[in-house]
Amino acid sequence: MKAQHYIKLDENKVECTLCPHNCVLKDGKSGICKVRSNHKGELITDNYGKISGYHFDPIEKKPLYHFYPGMDVLSIGSVGCNLHCQFCQNHEIAQTGVRNYPYLKELSPGSVVNAALRRENNIGIAYTYNEPLVFYEFMKDTALNAKQNGLKNVMVTNGFINREPMKSLVNFIDAFSVDLKAFTDVFYKKTTSSKLLPVLESLKTIKQSGKLLEITNLVIPTLNDNEEKFEEMVLWISKELGKDTVLHISRYHPMYKMNIKSTSAKTMFKLFEIAEGYLDFVYLGNLHSEKGQNTYCPACKKTVIERSGYYTKTNGIDKNGDCVYCNTNVIKYC
């Protein structure tokens, strides 16, 4: 399938303009993502319709806590990623290409949408598992089809994308779960082979579009757990995106090329406390704790959504997402 967002160059070369790597590729070569290739002077998306994962999940698993709580979503993924995170949690599919992963299933946009429509309690489709940006064309075709059929579209992404394709994304994606991996360019360069600024620009674009945005920050000991830098990050989120922006603070466990010990519960609770000073909605992930799971009304402070694992009780909000105690809107999409 011919890719979008690229420029033809001399000598049969192409420049991919989807993400800030802006890979310049000779004929027969693939980009950093391993799935966008130059075939005789045309940029091709090698993973179009090639699915590595296909499951119905609770929407809270993305994680999205403020988007149709208690509902399910059909989650699909492919292979490839434009980041090379040393702690990648899905490295089997994210850090490989089509030729090196033998378990791919070929699906059309229509077949994905039909499966989503058949499932009760399902709100739509989530593009996840590997980085959805690198199957941009399949995601777009599927999302537009889903939208025509009354389904919602959700994207779990690293946010490392150029401005123009990002501005296009917000036209067909309804909710974004974005990984803000740290708040220093040094971290992004050393541990992900990317940059921080494009991610911050993506966050602002999403917020300005009016689409739902939830941010996940995976806390890794010694690398991005500095309290001052964390406070700087949540202050930026509050000022640039709004204090109603949802933040998930997620606990790191050793994975892929990284063997640093798991983040301590003490660190998680301390960062949670810092974040609560700036943001209305802060949650803890990958941590067995009752703290940081429930949603509280920012006005009256009463519990409006209770969570235990992926079991969700929404007794404290009405059908419009308003607090039943004081009528403050808490959940925009429900």
Residue 326 is predicted with a pLDDT of 98
Same domain? For 72 and 210 the reply is yes
Residue 134 is predicted with a pLDDT of 98
For residue 232, give the CATH number of its domain. 3.20.20.70
Domain count, the chain: 3
- Per-residue pLDDT tens digits for 254-267: 999 999 999 999 99
How far is the first Cα of the chain from the last one, in angstroms, to the nearest whole number?
A: 36
Same domain? For 25 and 59 the reply is no
- Per-residue pLDDT tens digits for 277-293: 999 999 999 999 999 99
Domain of residue 250 covers: 50-290
Tell me which residue has tokens 């406070």. 231
Question: Hey, what are 62's tokens?
Answer: 């993305």
- Cα(183)–Cα(218) distance, integer angstroms: 11
State the pLDDT confidence band at 184, using cuts at 50, 70 and 90.
very high
- Per-residue pLDDT tens digits for 116-141: 999 999 999 999 999 999 999 999 99
- Give the mean pLDDT of the chain: 98
Residue 150 is predicted with a pLDDT of 98
Residue 177 is predicted with a pLDDT of 99
Q: Quick check: 22 and 137 in contact, CB under 8 A?
A: no
- Cα(317)–Cα(327) distance, integer angstroms: 9
Same domain? For 36 and 66 the reply is no
Q: Of 67, 10, 66, 18, nearest to 41 (Cα)? A: 10
Same domain? For 275 and 180 the reply is yes
Residue 15 is predicted with a pLDDT of 99
- Cα(82)–Cα(179) distance, integer angstroms: 13
For residue 202, what are the CA distances in angstroms to 73, 229, 290?
24, 20, 32
Same domain? For 286 and 298 the reply is no
Same domain? For 34 and 153 the reply is no
Q: Give the CA diameter of the chain.
A: 67
State the pLDDT confidence band at 7, using cuts at 50, 70 and 90.
very high
- Per-residue pLDDT tens digits for 232-256: 999 999 999 999 999 999 999 999 9
Q: Quick check: 213 and 243 in contact, CB under 8 A?
A: no
- Per-residue pLDDT tens digits for 203-232: 999 999 999 999 999 999 999 999 999 999
Please name the helix (run of DSSP H) or strand (run of DSSP E) that holds residue 56, with its range, or none.
Answer: strand 53-58
- Per-residue pLDDT tens digits for 151-178: 999 999 999 999 999 999 999 999 999 9
Q: Is 245 exposed, middle or buried (0-12, 13-18, 19+ CB in 10 A)?
A: buried
Mean local confidence (pLDDT), 299-318: 97
- pTM value? 0.97
